[in-house]
Every structure is written in C-alpha cells, then in structure tokens.
Amino acid sequence: MKNYLKSKLIVKLLAGVAFSMPILLFAQDGEPTIKLSIVEKDSVKICKAVVTTDSKPVKGTDVNFFVKRFFGLMPLAKAETTDENGEASVVFEKKLPGDSAGNITLIAQLDDDETIIDQVVVPWGAKVKFESGMNEKALWASRANAPLYLIIISNVIIIGIWGTMGYILYLLFFKMKKSGIGYNP
C-alpha cells in the first residue's frame, strides 16, 4: 500500500514536471509586435519598422521588408536588425509599378516569426493603366472585335460569290418562265 502510494506520487510529480517544463522554458514577457510606418524626407522614402514586446522596444531582432506583388512578396533589401529603440529601416529606392492609383503594399515581417507582420499601402508606385486585350481588334479577340481587313475581305468574297448565285437564282425563278411565254418551237 505504501509502495503504491509512493509510486502514484512519483507519477504525479513526473507529470507535473512534464507539463510545467515547456511553460518554464518558453515563457516570455509577451508576444512581440511590429509596426510599420513610412517617412519621406527630401524625397527620400524610408520604411521604418518598430518591434516591441509589451510596449518595450526589442533590440537585435531581424526585420524583412517586402513589397506585395501579384504572385508573392518581393524583398526590398536584406534583413535589417533593430536598434536599441527597436527600430529597423530601409530606403525605398525601387521604381515599381503600382495599381491604377500608383498604390503599392509595403510589408514588414519579423525574420524569426513570419506570422508577425504589418503592412501599409503607399502611393509610391507608378500608375499603371490597365488595357484589356479583349477590346482590341485582333485575330484572337471576340467576334465583335474581328480585324477590319478580315471583315472586309471575307465580306467582299461572300457578297461577290453569293451575289452571283443570287443573280442566277433570280434568272431561274423570275426570268426563265417569262422567257418561254409565247415561244412556239
């Protein structure tokens, strides 16, 4: 009985240690957050990210800066390390196409944890005028946008040939019988 109680106590102790170990090992002050902002100084465009944990700046952590593109994220520069203020910044030098208003999406992401991100939309891109090929006259376009030369050529041929056949049908249906009236072989 004594042994049984002893072993049960040991099992409970071991279980308690097992559960408490990860908590002890990974316990931190709080989840880090990232805040992206932009600064424009004398036409120099700067992306600035501030990393904090419980409102305290985090020093020495790497931050990646990206621009959101159609099929993924395009890095703006190599990862920047935060200073004692928890700040990391890169200069935006690229000339990139944006949307029709010139907007692009900047993203700051913690290198250690890719889920911790922040993004801002800025009008730093070139304005792109989207032209749909569907409205052009082309061989591959829709029925209504067939090339003019094709419409003209095909219609000339069709009208020429069907016009000739129409003339023959006119002769057959309207002239043939009349031409025989009064004729006595």
Among 11, 151, 156, 159, binds other proteins (CB under 8 A): 151
Among 71, 130, 140, 149, binds other proteins (CB under 8 A): 140
Q: Does 146 bind other proteins (CB under 8 A)?
A: yes
Closer CB to other proteins, 30 or 166, in the complex: 166
- On whether the CB atoms of residues 26 and 43 are closer than 8 A, the answer is no
What are residue 45's DSSP bridge partners?
A: 40, 92
Q: Of 22-30, 74-82, 99-107, 141-149, which segment contacts other proteins by CB under 8 A?
A: 141-149
Closest by CA to 45, choosing from 65, 29, 74, 31, is 65
CA distances from 3 to 7, 9, 113 (A): 6, 10, 48
Q: Does 169 bind other proteins (CB under 8 A)?
A: yes
- On whether the CB atoms of residues 84 and 59 are closer than 8 A, the answer is yes
Closer CB to other proteins, 20 or 154, in the complex: 154
- On whether the CB atoms of residues 110 and 61 are closer than 8 A, the answer is yes
Interface with other proteins (CB under 8 A):
139-143, 146-147, 150-151, 154, 158, 161-162, 164-165, 167-169, 171-173, 175-177, 179-181, 183-185
